[in-house]
């Protein structure tokens, strides 16, 4: 019975969607544990989608592998549940083929920064027009609790029984260093802020990266809701989002864990824009082009 | 005896020297001019894998009739340096001609061959005061030897150098004439090297396998390439990245091969044909995605220009070693098609077929080219574009679905093919996944789902194997012969030649090479495989990968012939086995 899809009811003549009537939430019940931080991010995403009037037929949610990467199944848009770590290449391919689609990417910190780390840096520097939300719980959940790239030093798991000796990665500083043009951080315990960040990400023309603390109640007893509630603080009101150096400084702050928009480039041209601008003004058809090539090789 | 007959019909010339000395440019120049003049041409070249220095060679085979391979023994060797002489001299046939640059070295006396010292560097430097003209002097020498009319070279030189100014054109003309003049004055006994040629044919083009397949990609309606540089596939990426914008396409040089194929999957999911080109090491990295493409049923095109492996192997050398990887690589049981073009011309047409079947059956296609096919240039018939027929995948809209219906992306159909919805199509939302799934694409791990979906996916493969639109297998020889030669890919060229050489010896041979190598196109192969007394399968690998696939399916003995030196077969290697098997019966 769960296998039915709620169908879209757009007003075709207007070309617009009656958003009040559309249910972005799919019939699939999330596979997350009770109390998982990912619920907050899912709800925040629904709010953002609704507010931005995203037409579900023109929207694609891309994800990797992991607990959080089950995300697309819970949403009534198009979806692409990729391989472990391969969210960014797929999002790139979709955008290059059809730049009119709205592409959102979701995944965990392991998916994005460990196995997918090589792709993350290039997606960021290309400035693809997508919104990438990392649901960061500092642990591998689906495999039942191992150290992740954002786990703290000394963090004890089954793969780090004497405590992790790997310096944790700073996702924001990494994104900034790679040339991301929109960099933000949220906390799942504050879903309103998260939805606002996603809205800003969707509005940004370029690579919008949002790292969201998303506590894992089952396997991470350190980075809990309670912990983050005490730790995180909104960025100062006078933070200049166009100042990249300041953004790096605030993102690296050893004392305070800030949330909010750290950086938003004053001017951003997306990868697709650059690619489109390199096309000749007048394009040709295959037979004409092949005719010219045949002449060249004769 | 046979080599004598061959010599009258064609000429094999090898130019060898240090990379950067003009070996390749000389060869390319003569090739293009000769093809324009109406000669049949096949070339073979090897570069060192390093950028600077290293030994390289360029072999041209010229004739007045269709040629099938680049030839074995040399009629003429042009050695630019001592190393070239040392490496290749023993391949010069009896009575063959050695041209050497006496400024560089002096060969030892040998009454079995003709030796001519042509001081190429000296002529260019002293006589012409144009050191860069050395290779054009060489062009003059080669063309005068076999009788290439001067006008074709003049026209080519003019085309090539006009934009560099009249003075450059003039200097190159002088270099050309210096070469021709030298041959006319000094090499009097050259009549044995003179070739006949047909009237000029306006309907030929001179291209490499990589160029031919790249143009096939354009003709197939693909507008996106995502790739990572790797020898010997890089020029496919370079070619298409430059051409696609003219057609409104868009491409990415990706960060690695895993990203390349991931982008292909994304673009194809979005409804656009997409391709990546790579070689064995890159294909190895893509394997996880190939499994995904089978599971999520996404058309995707992967060109593997094979090189000698394993691992980094020999990047610029030839091998047909990736068939097993192409057919079986991946976790679980996968569905995909593997196609192998048999010639430069075939690269164009099979690329179109490859896209058609990948789209129709919604599965990845691995297109197996190889180093010799990629690099060799051939004069081929200009493709007749009116013969291009495209097959597109079934989509929600092409199938007339209405948005009010419940759309099942993976509907269990009789054929196994389910119409695909594309982002942008109303009511078609689904999630593509590598997980086992229901007809709606929702994750399912129950026994019924996995059984029915596995069968659905394999139904497609079974139908593909007997699709009436499959390209015909390459055939040659006597259909009644009791000796059969079966091969795949570029080895077909030498097999064709072996069939002719065997016929000259009075041995009847039948030969076949399917263009679809996986799944086995049983309708095309059954009769051949079941009727021959002996089946011989030559392939350029150690284990006989295609022979093993055939043995497993047909449960019959197959005589393997293998070479694994990094070079393609010589006809004599296969002919010897054919002769042995023919005598075994007598």
pLDDT for the residue B121 = 87
Q: Per-residue DSSP letters for B9-64? A: HEEEEEEEEETTSSHHHHHHHHHHHHHHTT-EEEEEEE--SSSSS-EEEEEEEEES
Contacts of B424 in chain A (CB under 8 A): 57-58, 98, 100-101
Of A137-141, A145-149, A185-189, B191-195, the one with minimum mean pLDDT is: B191-195
pLDDT for the residue B200 = 73
Question: Would you call B300 an interface residue with chain A, using a CB distance cutoff of 8 Å?
Answer: no
Per-residue CA distances from A123 to A128, A278, B45 (Å): 6, 19, 38
Q: For chain A, what is the mean pLDDT?
A: 92
Contacts of A105 in chain B (CB under 8 A): none
- A186 phi and psi angles, rounded to 5 deg: -135, 180
Per-residue b or e along A189-219, where b marks 16 or more CB atoms closer than 10 Å to that residue's CB: bbbebbbbbbbbbbebbbbbbbbbbbbbbbb
d(CA B316, CA B310): 13
Q: Choose among A5, A79, A92: nearest Cβ to B406.
A: A5
Residue B5, pLDDT above cutoff 90 = no
Q: Which of residues 183-202 of B touch A (CB under 8 A)?
A: 202
What is the rounded average pLDDT of the residues B258-269?
98
d(CA B150, CA A221): 84
Burial grade of B53 (CB within 10 A; 0-12, 13-18, 19 or more): exposed
C-alpha dihedral sign at B394, B397, B398, B402: positive
What is the rounded average pLDDT of the residues A1-17?
40
pLDDT for the residue B3 = 38
- B62 phi and psi angles, rounded to 5 deg: -120, 145
Where does CATH 3.40.920.10 sit in chain B?
2-193
Name the residue of chain B whose CA is nearest to A116's CA. B259
Strand partners, B378: B42, B207
Beta strands in B300-453 (DSSP E): 300-306, 337-339, 364-370, 377-381, 431-433
Q: Where are the alpha helices (DSSP H) in B81-123?
A: 82-88, 120-122
Cβ–Cβ < 8 Å for B304, B330: no
Domains of chain A: 38-296 (3.40.50.970)
- Return the higher-pLDDT residue of A261 and B101: A261
Residue B394, pLDDT above cutoff 60 = yes
What is the rounded average pLDDT of the residues B166-183?
93
Residues A93, B438: C-beta atoms closer than 8 Å: no
Cβ–Cβ < 8 Å for B421, B409: yes
d(CA B340, CA B350): 8
Q: Choose among B36, B267, B385: nearest Cβ to A93.
A: B267
Question: Would you call B264 an interface residue with chain A, using a CB distance cutoff of 8 Å?
Answer: yes
Cβ–Cβ < 8 Å for B243, B61: no
Q: What is the CATH number of domain B2-193?
A: 3.40.920.10
Name the residue of chain B whose CA is nearest to A77's CA. B429
Name the residue of chain B whose CA is nearest to A284's CA. B247
Helix (H), strand (E) at residue B236: helix B234-243
Residue B126 DSSP class: I
Q: Choose among B260, B403, B442: nearest Cβ to A28.
A: B442
Question: Would you call B424 an interface residue with chain A, using a CB distance cutoff of 8 Å?
Answer: yes
Question: Would you call B539 an interface residue with chain A, using a CB distance cutoff of 8 Å?
Answer: no
Rounded to the nearest angstrom, the minimum Cα separation between B25 and chain A is 15
Residues A122, B259: C-beta atoms closer than 8 Å: yes
- Collapsing DSSP to helix, strand or coil, B479 comes out as coil
User: CATH assignment of B474-585, given 3.40.50.920, 3.40.50.300, 1.10.238.10, 3.40.1130.10?
Assistant: 3.40.50.920
How many beta-carbon contacts under 8 Å exist across A and B? 204
What is the rounded average pLDDT of the residues A186-199?
97
Rounded to the nearest angstrom, the minimum Cα separation between A275 and chain B is 7
Q: Choose among A56, A96, A290: nearest Cβ to B250.
A: A96
Name the residue of chain B whose CA is nearest to A56's CA. B429
> In degrees, to the nearest 5, what angle opens at C-alpha B288 toward C-alphas B554 and A212?
160
Residue indicated by tokens 């293998």: B562
Assign A1 a pLDDT band (cuts: 50, 70, 90): very low
Cβ–Cβ < 8 Å for B169, B162: yes
d(CA B53, CA B276): 30
Q: Choose among A94, A122, A276: nearest Cβ to B255.
A: A122
Name the residue of chain A whose CA is nearest to B382's CA. A294
Contacts of A115 in chain B (CB under 8 A): none
Residue indicated by tokens 């440019």: B25
d(CA B464, CA B519): 7
pLDDT for the residue A6 = 39
d(CA A28, CA B405): 19
Q: What is the CATH number of domain B206-387?
A: 3.40.50.970
pLDDT digits (tens, 9 = 90+) for B203-219: 899 999 999 999 999 99
> In degrees, to the nearest 5, what angle opens at C-alpha A41 toward C-alphas A39 and A42?
65
- Collapsing DSSP to helix, strand or coil, B403 comes out as coil
């Amino acid at each position: 019975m769960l296998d039915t899809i709620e169908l879209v009811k757009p007003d075709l003549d207007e070309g617009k969607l009656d958003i009040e009537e559309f249910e972005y939430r799919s019939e699939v019940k999330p596979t997350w544990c009770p109390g998982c931080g990912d619920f907050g991010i899912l709800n925040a995403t629904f709010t953002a989608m609704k507010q931005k009037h995203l037409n579900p037929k023109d929207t694609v949610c891309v994800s990797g592998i992991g607990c959080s990467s089950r995300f697309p199944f819970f949403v009534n848009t198009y979806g692409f549940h990729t391989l472990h770590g391969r969210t960014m290449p797929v999002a790139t391919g979709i955008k290059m083929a059809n730049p009119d689609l709205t592409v959102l990417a979701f995944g965990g910190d392991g998916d994005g920064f460990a196995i997918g780390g090589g792709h993350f840096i290039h997606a960021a520097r290309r400035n693809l027009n997508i919104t990438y939300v990392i649901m960061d719980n500092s642990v591998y959940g689906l495999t039942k609790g191992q150290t992740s790239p954002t786990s703290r030093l000394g963090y004890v798991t089954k793969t780090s029984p004497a405590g992790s000796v790997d310096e944790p990665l700073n996702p924001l500083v990494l994104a900034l260093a790679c040339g991301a043009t929109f960099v933000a951080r949220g906390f799942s315990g504050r879903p309103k802020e998260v939805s606002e960040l996603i809205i800003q990400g969707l509005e940004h023309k370029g690579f919008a990266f949002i790292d969201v603390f998303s506590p894992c109640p089952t396997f991470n007893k350190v980075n809990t809701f309670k912990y983050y509630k005490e730790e995180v603080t909104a960025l100062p009101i006078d933070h200049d989002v166009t100042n990249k150096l300041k953004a790096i400084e605030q993102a690296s702050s050893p004392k305070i864990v800030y949330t909010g928009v750290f950086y938003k480039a004053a001017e951003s041209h997306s990868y697709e824009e650059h690619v489109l601008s390199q096309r000749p003004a007048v394009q040709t058809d295959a037979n004409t082009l092949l005719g010219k090539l045949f002449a060249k090789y004769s | 005896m046979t080599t004598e007959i061959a010599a009258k019909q064609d000429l094999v010339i090898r130019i060898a020297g240090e990379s950067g000395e003009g070996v390749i440019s000389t060869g390319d120049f003569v090739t293009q001019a000769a093809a324009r003049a109406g000669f049949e041409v096949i070339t073979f070249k090897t570069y060192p894998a390093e950028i600077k220095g290293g030994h390289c060679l360029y072999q041209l085979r010229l004739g007045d009739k269709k040629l099938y391979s680049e030839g074995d023994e040399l009629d003429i060797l042009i050695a630019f340096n001592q190393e070239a002489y040392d490496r290749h001299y023993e391949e010069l046939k009896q009575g063959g001609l050695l041209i050497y640059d006496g400024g560089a070295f002096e060969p030892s006396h040998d009454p079995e061959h003709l030796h001519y010292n042509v001081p190429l560097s000296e002529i260019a430097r002293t006589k012409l005061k144009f050191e860069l003209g050395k290779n054009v002097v060489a062009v003059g020498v080669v063309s005068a030897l076999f009788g290439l009319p001067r006008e074709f070279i003049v026209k080519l030189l003019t085309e090539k150098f006009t934009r560099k100014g009249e003075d450059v054109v003039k200097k190159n003309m002088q270099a050309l004439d210096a070469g021709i003049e030298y041959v006319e004055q000094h090499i009097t006994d050259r009549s044995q090297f003179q070739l006949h040629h047909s009237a000029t044919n306006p309907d030929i083009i001179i291209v490499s396998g990589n160029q031919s397949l790249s143009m096939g990609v354009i003709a197939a309606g693909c507008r996106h390439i995502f790739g990572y540089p790797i020898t010997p596939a890089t020029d496919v990426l370079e070619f298409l990245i430059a051409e696609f914008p003219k057609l409104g396409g868009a491409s990415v040089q990706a960060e690695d091969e895993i990203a390349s194929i991931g982008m292909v999957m994304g673009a194809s999911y979005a409804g656009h044909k997409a391709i990546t080109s790579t070689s064995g090491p890159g294909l190895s990295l893509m394997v996880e995605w190939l499994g995904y493409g089978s599971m999520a049923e996404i058309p995707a095109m992967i060109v593997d220009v094979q090189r000698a492996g394993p691992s980094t192997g020999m990047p610029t050398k030839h091998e047909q070693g990736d068939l097993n990887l192409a057919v079986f690589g991946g976790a679980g049981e996968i569905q995909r098609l593997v196609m192998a073009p048999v010639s430069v011309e075939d690269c164009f047409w099979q690329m179109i077929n490859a896209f058609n079947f990948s789209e129709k059956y919604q599965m990845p296609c691995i297109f197996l080219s190889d180093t010799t096919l990629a690099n060799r240039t051939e004069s081929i018939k200009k493709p007749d574009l009116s013969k291009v027929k495209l097959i597109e995948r079934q989509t929600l809209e092409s199938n007339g679905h209405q948005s009010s219906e419940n759309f099942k992306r993976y509907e269990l159909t009789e054929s196994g093919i389910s119409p695909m919805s594309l982002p942008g199509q109303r009511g078609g939302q689904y999630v593509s996944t590598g997980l086992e799934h229901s007809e709606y694409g929702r994750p399912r791990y129950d026994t019924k789902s996995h059984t029915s979906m596995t069968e659905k996916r394999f139904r497609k493969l079974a139908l593909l194997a007997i699709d009436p639109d499959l390209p015909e297998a390459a055939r040659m020889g006597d259909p009644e012969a009791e000796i059969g030669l079966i091969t795949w890919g570029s080895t077909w060229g030498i097999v064709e030649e072996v069939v002719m050489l065997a016929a000259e010896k009075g041995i009847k041979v039948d030969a076949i090479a399917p263009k679809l190598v996986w799944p086995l196109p049983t309708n095309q192969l059954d009769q051949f495989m079941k009727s021959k007394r002996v089946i011989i399968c030559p392939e350029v690998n150690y284990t006989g990968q295609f022979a093993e696939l055939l043995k497993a399916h047909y449960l019959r003995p197959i005589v393997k012939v293998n070479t694994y030196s990094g070079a393609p077969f010589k006809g004599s290697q296969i002919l010897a086995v054919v002769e042995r098997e023919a005598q075994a019966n007598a």
